[in-house]
Amino acid sequence: MLNLIWASLAALSLSPLPQDEPADTSPRLAPPVRIFGGDTPIDVTVGHAAPLMMDFDGDGRQDLLVGEFGRGKFPPERLPEGVRKKWSSGFAEGKLRIYRNLGTNSAPEYRDFEYLRAGKEFASIPTT
């Protein structure tokens, strides 16, 4: 009897779904929300934003990190000579914005951003 029950359960798990009831495997996304830094909507203005939520400063709250294509020119002296010659028109300077979460993870609150720094200078990468 027990073998019959296991066989029935196995058959159920292997049975295809009825054709008139296809499985809905499409992703379910929540409606978009506008994120504010203080009273102003966050607007990266340059290029395609690449947001990431992570605890950047180790305080247990999820901060908002946003990569951006730069407006300024990437300093050519920071590029290898071969790259400077090949790409004589230069690169834009991509930076990482950090919006620190001053609220909680369930009710985040952001103010103005700061750029990621490498020592005393802003950290940046060449972008096209």
Whether 52 maps to a domain, the answer reads: yes
| Distance separating alpha carbons of residues 64 and 56, to the nearest angstrom | 8
| Distance separating alpha carbons of residues 64 and 93, to the nearest angstrom | 20
Whether 1 maps to a domain, the answer reads: no
| Distance separating alpha carbons of residues 98 and 104, to the nearest angstrom | 16
Whether 14 maps to a domain, the answer reads: no
Whether 26 maps to a domain, the answer reads: no
| Domain assignment of residue 85, given as a range | 34-127
Whether 68 maps to a domain, the answer reads: yes
Give the tens place of pLDDT for each residue, 33-43.
888 888 888 87
Whether 5 maps to a domain, the answer reads: no
Whether 47 maps to a domain, the answer reads: yes
**Residue 65 pLDDT:** 93
Q: How distant, in Å, are the alpha carbons of 5, 34, 110 from that of 104?
A: 50, 17, 10
50/32: higher pLDDT: 32
Whether 110 maps to a domain, the answer reads: yes
Q: Are 82 and 88 in contact (CB under 8 A)?
A: no
Q: Could you tell me the pTM of the whole model?
A: 0.65
**Residue 11 pLDDT:** 45
**Residue 102 pLDDT:** 96
Please give the tally of structural domains in the chain: 1
